[in-house]
């Protein structure tokens, strides 16, 4: 997908968009932060490193460029950018994930600055970065318009925004729908999976973009079995951990059956293994 700049009207304001009336995004964000602090996302995050590497190539990252990784988790995109000799700032609102990223950078001798930050209120001046990245991070912020505004604000004209977002139709999007039937999301909040749809990306970034490229890609979840996948995600992946914690044993059992059925349906690894392709949308926006 390649969308030319001629299809867009120029932006008329750089002010942050107003939040929809009646939605307390601050309270929602606080609950989300508790969710992502639970478990240990780094256990999951390290398996996704290849996505950060692919995104660094997709944005054609150059040595010496100033790069911001937003909602970086334990630093997959940060490490990928630093390996390409960029000047990298890695941000997240979960401090222990930044600590995990810093340990990885130190082990590789990579020079990365780690800084706590709210993705919806980035503590940086306008237009200071050449490239802004986010892999499966910014998509989980509750206020889609505000985070899009922030990503555009901090990147310079002609700079690039690169994102990797799970699609609604893919494995994680389908998992969200299953979990959401047991633990409904907050009222008034758009699904994070919308970030994996091309029209939503165009709606959010189009007015200030000179070019948007969206490519559907696959990440393969590789585990020993559905039970192995479920054990890892129940213990370490905050949204799944919290979902189970809020259910009684009977409902937990029902949720396990539904997730197991989804894993078995999508498994392409045969009877002795689990390989589940997870579709995501690779997004490159040029401002």
DSSP string, 79-144: HHHHHTT-EEEEEES-HHHHHHHHHHHHHHT--EEEEE--TTS-SS-TT-EEEEEEESSGGG-S-H
Using pLDDT thresholds of 50, 70 and 90, give the confidence band for residue 26.
confident
State the Cα–Cα distance between residues 88 and 67, nearest whole angstrom: 5
Strand 112-116 and strand 129-135: the pairing is: unpaired
Q: The tokens 């969710």 sit on which residue?
A: 35
Least confident of 19-28, 108-117, 169-178, 189-198: 19-28
**Across the chain, what does the average pLDDT equal?**
90
Helices and strands (H and E) in the chain: how many: 11, 8
Q: Which residues pair with 217 in a beta bridge?
A: 280
Residue 163 belongs to what domain range? Answer: 25-221+277-286
State the Cα–Cα distance between residues 93 and 70, nearest whole angstrom: 9
The predicted model scores a pTM of: 0.88
Average pLDDT over residues 21-28: 67
Average pLDDT over residues 149-163: 98
User: Per-residue pLDDT for 4 more than 50?
Assistant: no
Structural domain contains residue 14: no
Q: The tokens 């968009």 sit on which residue?
A: 17
CATH of the domain at 110: 3.40.50.150
Q: What does the pLDDT read at residue 60?
A: 98
Domain count across the chain: 1
Structural domain contains residue 146: yes
For residue 8, what are its two tokens? 């867009």
The model's pLDDT over 249-282, given as tens digits with 9 standing for 90+, comes to: 999 999 999 999 999 999 999 999 999 999 999 9
Q: What does the pLDDT read at residue 20?
A: 52
Structural domain contains residue 99: yes
Structural domain contains residue 252: no
Using pLDDT thresholds of 50, 70 and 90, give the confidence band for residue 186.
confident
Structural domain contains residue 282: yes
For residue 241, what are its two tokens? 């951990």
Q: What does the pLDDT read at residue 13?
A: 36
The dihedral built from the CA positions of residue 235, 237, 241 and 244, taken in this order, carries a sign that is: negative
User: Per-residue pLDDT for 17 more than 80?
Assistant: no
User: Per-residue pLDDT for 185 more than 90?
Assistant: no
The model's pLDDT over 97-140, given as tens digits with 9 standing for 90+, comes to: 999 999 999 999 999 999 999 999 999 999 999 999 999 999 99
Phi/psi for 130 (5° steps) reads: -80, -35
Q: Reduced to 3 states, what is the DSSP secondary structure of residue 212?
A: strand
Q: The tokens 């310079």 sit on which residue?
A: 156
Structural domain contains residue 246: no
Structural domain contains residue 256: no
Q: How many residues does the chain have?
A: 287
Side-chain half-sphere CA neighbours of 193 within 13 A? 16
State the Cα–Cα distance between residues 82 and 50, nearest whole angstrom: 14
Structural domain contains residue 73: yes
Using pLDDT thresholds of 50, 70 and 90, give the confidence band for residue 39.
confident
State the Cα–Cα distance between residues 135 and 200, nearest whole angstrom: 17
Q: The tokens 């994996």 sit on which residue?
A: 196
């Amino acid at each position: 997908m390649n969308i030319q700049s001629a299809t867009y009207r120029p932006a008329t304001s750089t002010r942050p968009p107003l939040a929809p009336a009646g939605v307390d995004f601050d309270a929602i964000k606080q609950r989300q932060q508790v969710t992502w602090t639970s478990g240990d996302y780094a256990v999951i995050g390290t398996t996704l490193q290849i996505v950060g590497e692919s995104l660094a190539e997709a944005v054609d990252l150059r040595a010496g460029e100033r790069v911001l990784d937003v909602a970086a988790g334990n630093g997959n995109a940060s490490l990928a950018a630093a390996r390409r000799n960029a000047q990298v700032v890695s941000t997240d609102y979960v401090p222990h994930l930044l600590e995990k990223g810093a340990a990885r950078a130190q082990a590789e001798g990579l020079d990365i600055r780690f800084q706590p930050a709210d993705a919806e209120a980035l503590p940086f001046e306008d237009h200071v970065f050449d490239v802004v990245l986010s892999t499966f991070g910014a998509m989980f912020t509750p206020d889609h318009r505000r985070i899009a505004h922030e990503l555009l604000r901090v990147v310079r004209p002609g700079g690039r925004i690169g994102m990797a977002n799970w699609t609604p139709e893919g494995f994680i999007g389908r998992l969200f729908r299953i979990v959401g039937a047991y633990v409904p999301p907050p009222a008034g909040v758009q699904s994070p999976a919308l970030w994996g749809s091309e029209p939503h990306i165009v709606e959010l970034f189009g007015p200030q973009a000179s070019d948007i490229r969206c490519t559907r890609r696959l990440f393969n979840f590789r585990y020993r079995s559905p039970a192995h996948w479920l054990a890892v995600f129940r213990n370490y992946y905050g949204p799944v951990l919290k979902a189970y914690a809020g259910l009684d044993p009977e409902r937990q059992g029902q949720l396990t059956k539904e997730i197991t059925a989804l894993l078995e349906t999508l498994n392409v690894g045969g009877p002795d293994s689990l390989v589940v392709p997870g579709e995501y949308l690779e997004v490159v926006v040029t401002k």
